[in-house]
Chains A and B, each alone.
Chain A
Amino acid sequence: MDMKRDYYEDIQLFKSNVVLFWSAVLLLALFTIPLYAPNYYIYLLNIIMVHVILAVGLNILVGSTGQISLGHAGFFAIGAYGTAFLMSMFQVPFVFAIFIAAFIAAFFGFILGLPALRLEGPYLAIVSLGFGLTIMHIIGGMDVFGGRMGIKVPPLDLGIKQLGISWVLKTDIQKYYLILIMTILLVVGARNILKTRVGRSFVAIRDSDIAAEVIGVNLTIYKTLAFAVSAFYAGIAGGLFGFVLGFFDPFTFNMILSVIFLVMVVVGGLGTIQGGILGAILITYLQYDFLKNIAEVPYLGALMVAISKQWFTTVGLENFSSMAIGLIMIGIIIFEPLGMFGVWIRMKKYWMTWPF
């Protein structure tokens, strides 16, 4: 069904005119959403898009290269703190600040990639988990970064202060367009990375690192590169996330956040761009909207409150969200290991080959 006949067919951005058409429709819809969606949803969409950037980056590492990372909250924190710190302390213009912060994150990704050369599976998961915790504690222990009290983000000024140009984005809608453009660029970038020699090396490492080494893929370069690229995406996402929130403290970037990032990739579908996007949308929506306000959902909300009153505590109802996400994680591995993208592929196959 998905057969590629030559190389150019493999690398083209849109597989067919149908895909091109629907992509254009999607873009148009995304650019016009602020015209009719309420402001709260714009905020939600901002967070979703930040998580899409991160999930796409993490999918390059986990899905395409086969390395496990439970430390992406660390890179996310480096991006957020780096951007805010550079802008408020050194008056670096936004565009440079976010890229410098992302490159710092990428450098840390490279550092984390070094032990990953000798580790795999659960060991790598633990090392990256420790890395994420370490970053959180180091940032929390340094007073320059506001310590445990957190840090307030400077105004999002797209201009260059040194030249006297100032273009401050204040509302969520203005930020929405900035984040949307960044997201589109980065997602297309990730897709293109995976279509190049580098991307094919990543996939070769995932399928068998020993075989990849035998056919001439330099493991040292490509494994650390995968970590660096993924950390770069996390850094950019973190920088934008800081501006969406406006205020954050080190405990925003705890271990649970890393787990949730991994869940996005696993739930969406490993190794595909669409999977990362789908997972980020679903999990972020559940976490920030549906499960967070579950008490206000019609029927179900009343039931949950009643259950809480009977057997649990109503104050603790917010913790239901982590319970539900835990069940989703277990369920997806048991029932649908390919994630939501796997469901989509099955549906597509069913309709394309119908009635067989």
Chain B
Amino acid sequence: MPVGQLLVEGLAIGACYGLFATAVVIIYKTSEVVNFAQGEMAMFSSFVAFHILSVYQLPFWAAFVITMIFSILLGILIEYFFLRPAKHPSILGLIVITLGAEMFLMGLAGWKWGAEQKFFSLPLDPSLTYEPVKGMIINNWAIAVFAVTTCIMLLLYVFFKYTRLGVAMRATQQNKHAAKIMGIRTERVLSFAWGSSSLIGAIAGMFFASRATLDPAFMMEPFLRAFAAAVLGGLMSIPGVIIGGGLMGLIENFFGYYQWKPIIAFIVIILVLCLRPSGLFTKHFVKKV
């Protein structure tokens, strides 16, 4: 494949990783929980979209809207029922809870839809391609990914910068107790963070599903790679994560043969964490004793 082609495809899949990693980062920023269930939340939402499309035969936009509402509810409910009742859980406890949510969702999806692979397609004609520069073919899927990622990034930027809720979220992240004293309902902020993160994850999940097949375990490896992207960009900054996602997609497309792709993600995580633990784009912080 020509270099330009690899570049475009790498950037497109990288934008997907970046989008999904953004979902991880939103939760990590507000509550310091690494959500291992993120992939399965996206998987479940994609299955809901698939179910609406194939069983109820609704048009795509209706399925999309219903899925988005569902994914927001899913995120809020998981936070409300699984994480909130735990009183001062340790880091291991939090990891076990999110892993438990992951197993739960995976089992539920497997029970409902079976383990065989399904085909999920976005209303995009994959044969429709453009060639702006010679040797650089962009297909519809990549354009949709770029457009959606840009939109979400702009929305998030405006949201965190100018809205009251966004400022409240940043305040909660910086100091939960001070934010509470200032009158911010931090629980509600958490709910909102989980809901929005689940929504972004569901959009990314639908892109992943339309690129591969849909089965209860299909988000496991994209999750690891998106996490590698998040680590690359530093788990705290959203623009950094998008750049990290792009880098991750490029690294994977240029240096990864099909079966070694998961290993690339692993090596990237190890190298970044060992050489620059706080990521490429965030300030280093030192643990206080």
Which residues on the A side are within 8 Å of B153 (C-beta)?
none
Interface flag for B166 (CB, 8 Å): no
Query: Are B107 and A133 neighbours in the complex by a CB distance under 8 Å?
Result: no
Q: In whole Å, how far is A61's beta carbon from the nearest beta carbon of chain B?
A: 11
Query: Are B269 and A130 neighbours in the complex by a CB distance under 8 Å?
Result: yes
Q: Quick check: which of B9-17, B187-195, B216-224 contacts chain A, the rest being far away?
A: B216-224
Q: Say which size band chain B's interface belongs to.
A: 35 or more
- Please measure, in the bound complex, the distance between the C-alpha atom of A325 and the C-alpha atom of B100, giving whole angstroms: 7
Query: Are B274 and A118 neighbours in the complex by a CB distance under 8 Å?
Result: yes
B interface footprint on A314-342 (CB within 8 Å = 1, 0 otherwise): 01111111111111111011100100000
Q: Quick check: which of A4-12, A179-187, A255-263 contacts chain B, the rest being far away?
A: A255-263
Q: Say which size band chain A's interface belongs to.
A: 35 or more
A137/B259 contact (C-beta < 8 A), A129-B224, A333-B97, A334-B85 known: yes
Interface flag for B103 (CB, 8 Å): yes
- Please measure, in the bound complex, the distance between the C-alpha atom of A323 and the C-alpha atom of B289, giving whole angstroms: 39
Which residues on the B side are within 8 Å of A19 (C-beta)?
none
Q: In whole Å, how far is A162's beta carbon from the nearest beta carbon of chain B?
A: 37
Query: Are A313 and B113 neighbours in the complex by a CB distance under 8 Å?
Result: yes
Interface of B, secondary structure class, is helix
Interface flag for B92 (CB, 8 Å): yes
A interface footprint on B79-123 (CB within 8 Å = 1, 0 otherwise): 000100110011111111101111111111111111100000000
A327/B260 contact (C-beta < 8 A), A115-B270, A127-B270, A130-B265 known: no
Q: In whole Å, how far is B139's beta carbon from the nearest beta carbon of chain A?
A: 28
- Please measure, in the bound complex, the distance between the C-alpha atom of A103 and the C-alpha atom of B157, giving whole angstroms: 51
Which one, A131, A140, A316, A337, contacts B111 given CB within 8 A? A316
Give the A-B contact count at a CB cut-off of 8 A. 154
Can you list 29 residue pairs at the A/B interface with Cβ under 8 Å? A118-B277, A119-B277, A120-B91, A123-B273, A125-B34, A125-B36, A126-B231, A134-B266, A137-B260, A266-B92, A313-B111, A316-B112, A316-B114, A316-B115, A319-B111, A320-B107, A320-B111, A323-B103, A323-B108, A326-B103, A326-B104, A329-B103, A332-B96, A333-B86, A333-B96, A334-B86, A334-B97, A337-B89, A337-B90
Which chain A residues have a beta carbon within 8 Å of chain B's beta carbons? 62, 68, 70, 115, 118-123, 125-127, 129-131, 133-134, 137-138, 140-141, 210, 255-256, 259, 262-263, 266, 270, 308, 311-313, 315-330, 332-334, 337
Extra inter-chain contacts (7) besides given A140-B259, A141-B260, CB under 8 Å: A130-B224, A138-B263, A266-B96, A319-B108, A322-B103, A329-B100, A333-B93
